């Protein structure tokens, strides 16, 4: 949690911990930066911070390739920062005051998305292990791949897409 208001930061750390998450608070972007891209699930980020603004920190995260989820929590919501947050793929854009339930829902979405991504990577690894490269014309790039039972990658993708659509109700 990157929030310069000490009382709010302490409250958020306490309540988010009570929700079952591990939370740390930082008063400035500069203090938070060394910890942000170290495997955190999410950063709750105030935009109005002393010295480096929250948007500057968010920009730095994305320019450095840090894919940590960002939840904006600001008392000074503005159209420009909301649009930029969407472009940089913020998980949520909340304005103060907001309820703890709003924060909990945003954190829950982050965790669900992370689990889905981990499952997808596991499926991709498993699918990659079960495919063999077919001999192709030397000019064909990349080489075609097929499962040992003759199923094509397109067939498997189609099957996985339909399974996901069914699982998540479209």
Q: What is the pLDDT of residue 136?
A: 46
Average pLDDT over residues 111-133: 74
Answer yes or no: is pLDDT of 144 > 50. Answer: no
The 8-class DSSP code of residue 47 comes to: S
Confidence (pLDDT) at 18 = 94
C-alpha torsion sign, points 130, 135, 136, 141? positive
Q: Is 93 left (phi over 0), alpha (psi -120 to 50) or beta?
A: beta
DSSP 8-state class, residue 26: B
Split at pLDDT 50, 70, 90, the class of 107 is very high
Rounded percentage of the chain residues whose pLDDT exceeds 70: 85
- Mean pLDDT across 46-64: 93
Alpha carbon of residue 158 to chain centroid: 25
Q: Where are the alpha helices (DSSP H) in 19-78?
A: 29-36, 54-63
**Model confidence at 130, in pLDDT bands (50, 70, 90)?**
low
| pLDDT at residue 101 is higher than 60 | yes
- Give the mean pLDDT of 28-57: 91
Please, are residues 2 and 28 in contact by the beta-carbon 8 Å criterion? Answer: yes
CA atoms of 15 and 98, how far apart (whole Å) = 13
Mean pLDDT of the chain: 82
């Amino acid at each position: 949690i990157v929030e310069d208001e000490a009382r709010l930061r302490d409250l958020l750390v306490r309540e988010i911990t009570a929700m079952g998450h591990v939370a740390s608070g930082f008063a400035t972007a500069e203090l938070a930066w060394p910890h942000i891209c170290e495997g955190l699930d999410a950063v709750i980020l105030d935009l109005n911070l002393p010295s480096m603004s929250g948007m500057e920190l968010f920009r730095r995260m994305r320019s450095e390739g840090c894919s940590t989820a960002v939840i904006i929590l600001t008392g000074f919501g503005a159209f420009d920062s909301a649009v930029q947050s969407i472009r940089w793929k913020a998980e949520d854009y909340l304005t103060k005051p907001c309820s703890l339930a709003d924060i909990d829902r945003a954190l829950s979405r982050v965790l669900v998305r992370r689990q889905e991504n981990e499952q997808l990577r596991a499926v991709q690894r498993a699918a990659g292990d079960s495919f063999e490269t077919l001999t192709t014309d030397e000019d064909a790039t990349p080489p075609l791949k097929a499962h040992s039972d003759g199923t094509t990658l397109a067939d498997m993708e189609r099957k996985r897409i339909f399974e996901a659509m069914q699982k998540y109700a479209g």
